[in-house]
Amino acid sequence: MAIALPGFANVHSHAFQRLLRGSVQRRDPQREDSFWTWRERMYALATSLDLDGIEAAARLCYAECLEAGYTAVGEFHYLHNREDGSPYPEWLATTYAHARAARQVGIRLSLLWTVYARGGFDAPLQPEQRRFGVPDLDTAKLALDALMPLADTGAVRVGLALHSVRAVPRDWLGPLAEEARRRGLPIHAHVSEQPREVAECRRHYGLSPVQLLRAEGVLGPDFTAVHATWLDDDDIEALARSRATVCLCPTTEGDLGDGIPPTAELHAAGIPLAIGSDSHAVIDPFAELRTAEYDARARTGCRCVLTDGSGDVGPALARIAHANGYDALGLPDGGDRVFLRDDARVFERVRDLLPVALLAGHPGLVERVDVAGQTVVEGGRHVLR
């Protein structure tokens, strides 16, 4: 008998960044390493991959996601142009490459087509960012129109992502959110990942990133704020009022030294939480859940922070892992399941299996994974291996 769980949703992914793993764990002795120096290395990778390389990275990443128990992924996709920044002759070539990769390995995909238009609050796109660039609002609208047929093809859905308040001009935010809502698409954005972004946003607009998004009408129940690491009380209240979701990426936030989000406060405010493996330094939903809960404990000095009304950690983490994530990605439940080996030592002499599975589990326990009625992982290995 295996332990069956609803499939985990990986709400925030940049599949190509999986290729950085192992090559960014050494710092230049002459300077500090930070999010901003990591970003330089990420740009070097982003500008080096050809179309086949992008698709292969996505296939590798999504197969590893499935073997770890993720049955759905939200691809926050901004590698739109060719290596030199010029457009592909085939419109949306890299977007379709991700859809093909997801179909091949059998993971449910929400393709969050990302708008990225400038290099900073008052900086044009830098040469190494031209690959990500969307030239104008009309191009973004045309892209969403062009992608709508993809949105109807079984396991793939489409959404809109606003890269960040750094990379999207203020006067684009409202119109883009409106375009997404007109089409019934979920809206995601990186929000307040780094203190520098918050400080620059305040200096530029006199508002925090959350308050700016609220002022421009972006917040709502269909909106997901990714990271939400550096929030104040007003930000948390605005997110809660709008019934937005927050996607935590605890292993990436740890890897990049982003900071520890106010998870306890977000949960107490009734904000639905979800998880994502983001840069894929680690692909392990159990690690995301455990780190989210343990970081919240370390920050507050309290135990059992992410709980349901009866004080149970297990059901609350299960909701974060599955239902909140599927909702945030606009994906149907579809009966996707993960089966864990119940003969594993970790479950010996354990009565309440759910919190142990989610807090002490690991991808090595995943025996089988079913997505949309198909078994895609058997004996812990992807069936195409």
Q: With CA atoms as reference, report the closest residue to 253 among 286, 291, 221.
A: 291
Q: How far is the CB of 328 from Zn ion (least distance, A)?
A: 14
Contacting range for Zn ion; rule: CB under 5 A; set: 39-47, 58-66, 139-147, 276-284? 276-284
Q: Which two tokens stand for residue 44?
A: 């070097």
Q: Does the active-site annotation cover 278? A: yes
- Between 276 and 330, CB nearer to Zn ion: 276
How many positions of this chain bind Zn ion (CB under 5 A)? 1
The Cα 12–Cα 65 span in angstroms is 12
- Between 229 and 263, CB nearer to Zn ion: 229
Q: How far is the CB of 278 from Zn ion (least distance, A)?
A: 5
Contacting range for Zn ion; rule: CB under 5 A; set: 148-156, 164-172, 254-262, 275-283? 275-283
Given CA atoms 359, 361, 367, 369 in this order, what sign does their dihedral have? positive
Q: How far is the CB of 276 from Zn ion (least distance, A)?
A: 8
- Between 12 and 341, CB nearer to Zn ion: 12
- Between 132 and 347, CB nearer to Zn ion: 132
Region at 216 (left for phi over 0; alpha for psi -120 to 50; beta for the rest): alpha
- Between 235 and 278, CB nearer to Zn ion: 278
Q: How far is the CB of 76 from Zn ion (least distance, A)?
A: 5
The Cα 81–Cα 132 span in angstroms is 6
Q: How far is the CB of 42 from Zn ion (least distance, A)?
A: 10
Question: In the window 91-150, what residues touch Zn ion (CB under 5 A)?
Answer: none
Any bridge partners for residue 160, and if so which?
113, 187
- Between 15 and 105, CB nearer to Zn ion: 15
Q: How far is the CB of 377 from Zn ion (least distance, A)?
A: 25
- The active-site residue, picked from 80, 227, 280, 382, is 227
- Between 278 and 367, CB nearer to Zn ion: 278
CB of 40 closer than 8 Å to CB of 302: no
Count of CB atoms situated within 10 Å of the CB of 343:
11
Buried b (16+ CB within 10 A) or exposed e, 25-59: eeeeeeeeeebeebeeebbebbbebebeebbbbbb
Q: Which two tokens stand for residue 61?
A: 């990443």
Which one-letter DSSP state was computed for residue 120?
Answer: B
- Between 223 and 339, CB nearer to Zn ion: 223
Any bridge partners for residue 157, and if so which?
110
CB of 286 closer than 8 Å to CB of 327: no
- The active-site residue, picked from 222, 235, 255, 278, is 278
Q: How far is the CB of 327 from Zn ion (least distance, A)?
A: 19
Helix (H) or strand (E) holding 320: helix 313-321
Contacting range for Zn ion; rule: CB under 5 A; set: 20-28, 237-245, 272-280, 330-338? 272-280
- Fill in the per-residue mask, 278 to 297: x = in contact with Zn ion (CB under 5 A), - = not in contact: x-------------------
Question: In the window 173-202, what residues touch Zn ion (CB under 5 A)?
Answer: none
Question: In the window 211-250, what residues touch Zn ion (CB under 5 A)?
Answer: none
Q: How far is the CB of 30 from Zn ion (least distance, A)?
A: 28
Amino acid identity, residue 80? H
**Nearest residue to Zn ion, scored by beta-carbon proximity:** 278
Which residue spans within the chain are E strands per DSSP? 2-6, 8-13, 70-77, 108-115, 156-162, 187-191, 223-227, 245-248, 273-275, 337-341, 366-371, 374-378, 381-382
Q: Does the active-site annotation cover 227? A: yes
Question: Beta strands 273-275 and 223-227: pairing type?
Answer: unpaired
What are the catalytic residues? Answer: 227, 278
> Which residues contribute to the site for Zn ion (CB under 5 A)?
278
